[in-house]
Amino acid sequence: MLAASEGFAIMKRTRLGMAVVVLMLPIVSFALATARQELQQALRSKPNLDHGAQLFRNCAVCHGPQGGGTRDGGVPRIAGQHVSVLAKQLVDYRHDRRWDIRMENFADKHHLADGQAIADVTAYIHQLTVDVPPGVGDGELATHGANVYGRLCESCHGKSAQGDATRMVPRIAGQHYDYLMRQIYDATDGRRPNFSLTHVRLLAHLDRRDIVGVADYLSRLDPRQDDKAAARTVAR
């Protein structure tokens, strides 16, 4: 049985913890509201591509002049990505909803002053194209990955993995294999706080063969191919 003094100490700590939570709620709510406002401003602004090109110079240091990233998956392909997806990710980096020390730096207000700047740079990135093929896997599980993708991922990302701009679902066709692998593991390990719980639970059901196969399959898809023209082929 706990001594009276020990019981009192536990109650005191519990009340203190609850007080901290209550005090933090307005701060968290304000941060979420600010993030939503920034995103809405970016999506409603008329982009200036010339200004976007100037801002992209910082991005090009890592992502390359065409936004192609690196074949080893250290830096993703962003060329041609939906504006809404790009804007959402930048805002998430600004508000601790996605973590990467490089991106948190270049997405801050020193580099991107406001929603207009986000609109400008994301519109510029959206119209970029890359001719260099992405990094891919060894191909052994790509067919298996195509089947897994069709069962679990196609309903949101689309038959040809082109995503959906209106729902901020990213285009993942033609993304680097190693980058896709890392993002899946980051999501299931809790390192991607902007992933929905539903999405994380779905990914958690995949075993390593599934993850390798899906990532390899997606990396081999043509990012310029629309759903109507999609053909289930993994040959490249």
Average pLDDT by stretches of 10, the chain with 236 residues = 56 55 42 84 98 98 98 97 98 97 97 98 97 96 98 97 98 98 97 96 97 98 72 47
Query: What does the pLDDT look like over 42-87, one tens digit per residue?
Result: 999 999 999 999 999 999 999 999 999 999 999 999 999 999 999 9
Going by C-alpha positions, the residue among 179, 170, 173, 171 that lies closest to residue 75 is 179
d(CA 185, CA 191): 8
Q: Which domains does the chain have, with CATH numbers?
A: 4-126 (1.10.760.10), 142-229 (1.10.760.10)
The answer to whether the pTM exceeds 0.75 is yes
The C-alpha atoms of residue 103 and residue 198 are separated, in whole angstroms, by 25
The confidence score (pLDDT) of residue 184 equals 98
Amino acid at 104: E
d(CA 106, CA 12): 43
Side chain identity at residue 95, one-letter code = H
**Residue in 114, 36, 131, 41 with CA at minimum distance from that of residue 80:** 131
